[in-house]
Chain A
Amino acid sequence: MLRTVLLRRLLFSIPTLLGVATLAFMLGHMSPGDPAIAAMGLDLEGYSSVEPEELERVREELGLNKPIVVQYVGWLTRALQGDFGTSYVSTIEVSELVFEALPTTMLLLVMTMSVAIVVGISLGIVSAVFKGRRADYIARMIAIIGVSTPTFWFALVLMLCFAVAIPIFPVNGSFDEFGWKAMALPTMAIALHPAALIARMMRSSMLEVLSQDMIRTATAKGLSKWRVYMVHGLRNAINPVVTVIGFQFANLMGGAVAVEFIFSLPGLGSLLIEGIYEKDILVIQGAVLVIGVAFALTNLLVDLLYMIIDPRIRI
Chain B
Amino acid sequence: MSPVLELKNLQTHFETRSGTVRAVDGVSYHVNQGETLGVVGESGCGKSVTSLSILRLIPNPPGKIVGGSVLFEGEDLTQVPENRIRAIRGKEISMIFQEPMTSLNPMMTVGNQISEPLIRHLGLTKKDALDRAREMLDLVHIPDSKSWLSGYPHQMSGGMRQRVMIAMALACDPKVLIADEPTTALDVTIQGQILMLIKELQEKLGTAVVMITHDLGVVAEVADRVVVMYAGRKVEEADIHTLFERPRHPYTVGLMTAIPRLDQIAEADGDPERLTEIPGTVPLLSELQPGCAFKDRCAFATERCGQQAPALEEKSKGHWAACWHEAPFQ
Contacts and interface: CB of A to CB of B under 8 A. Distances in A.
B86 to A, nearest CB: 5
A216 B104 CA distance: 10
25 contacts: A212-B102, A213-B103, A214-B103, A214-B105, A214-B106, A216-B57, A217-B105, A219-B57, A220-B55, A220-B89, A220-B94, A221-B90, A221-B94, A221-B116, A222-B88, A222-B117, A222-B120, A223-B86, A224-B120, A227-B120, A235-B105, A235-B108, A311-B106, A311-B152, A312-B154
Interface in A223-252: 223-224, 227, 231-232, 235-236
Given A216-B57, A311-B154, A312-B152, A222 B90 contact: yes
B107 A220 contact: no
A213 B106 CA distance: 11
Top 6 nearest A-B pairs by Cβ distance?
A222-B89, A222-B90, A221-B90, A213-B102, A213-B103, A221-B117
A227 B104 CA distance: 15
Interface string B201-238: 00000000000000000000000000000000000000
B327 interface: no
Contact of A213 (B99, B107, B152): B99
Nearest to B83: A224
A218 interface: yes
Contacts of A235: 105, 107-108
Given A217-B97, A311-B154, A312-B152, A223 B116 contact: yes
Given A311-B152, A311-B154, A312-B152, A220 B104 contact: no
B168 interface: yes
A218 B113 CA distance: 9
B91 interface: yes
Contact of B107 (A217, A224, A227, A236): A236
A50 interface: no
A309 interface: yes
Interface in A284-315: 309-312
Nearest to A311: B152
A221 B118 CA distance: 9
Contacts of A309: 107
Contacts of B49: none
Interface of A: 212-214, 216-224, 227, 231-232, 235-236, 309-312
A312 B94 CA distance: 28
B107 A221 contact: no
Contact of B120 (A212, A221, A310, A311): A221
A220 B90 contact: yes
A216 B103 contact: yes
Interface in B130-149: none
Nearest to B89: A222
Contacts of A222: 86-91, 117, 120-121
Nearest to B152: A311
B95 interface: yes
A224 to B, nearest CB: 7
Contacts of A212: 102
Nearest to B88: A222
A217 B106 CA distance: 12
Contacts of B107: 235-236, 309-311
Nearest to A215: B105
Contact of A217 (B86, B87, B104, B152): B104
Interface in B311-330: none
Q: Which of B89, B102, B103, B117 has the most CB of A within 10 A?
A: B103
A312 B87 CA distance: 32
A208 to B, nearest CB: 12
A217 B164 CA distance: 12
B104 A214 contact: yes
Nearest to A216: B57
B58 to A, nearest CB: 10
Q: Which of B94, B106, B121, B165 has the most CB of A within 10 A?
A: B106
A223 B97 CA distance: 17
A47 B37 CA distance: 96
A219 B82 CA distance: 12
Nearest to A239: B107
Contacts of B94: 220-221
B113 to A, nearest CB: 8
A224 B99 contact: no
A311 B111 CA distance: 14
Contacts of A223: 86, 90, 116-117, 120
A80 to B, nearest CB: 40
Interface string B47-85: 000000001010000000000000000000000000000
Contacts of A216: 57, 97, 103
A232 B105 contact: yes
B38 to A, nearest CB: 20
Nearest to B86: A222
Q: Choose among A213, A224, A312 the residue with the greatest number of B CB atoms under 10 Å from its CB.
A: A213
A272 B88 CA distance: 63
A236 B107 CA distance: 7
A217 B116 CA distance: 11
Contacts of A227: 120
B28 to A, nearest CB: 23
A311 B165 CA distance: 19
Contacts of B87: 222
Contacts of A310: 106-107
B177 to A, nearest CB: 11
A68 to B, nearest CB: 51
Contact of B86 (A224, A232, A236, A311): A224
B95 A220 contact: yes
Most chain-B CB neighbours within 10 Å: which of A224, A227, A311?
A311
A224 B108 CA distance: 17
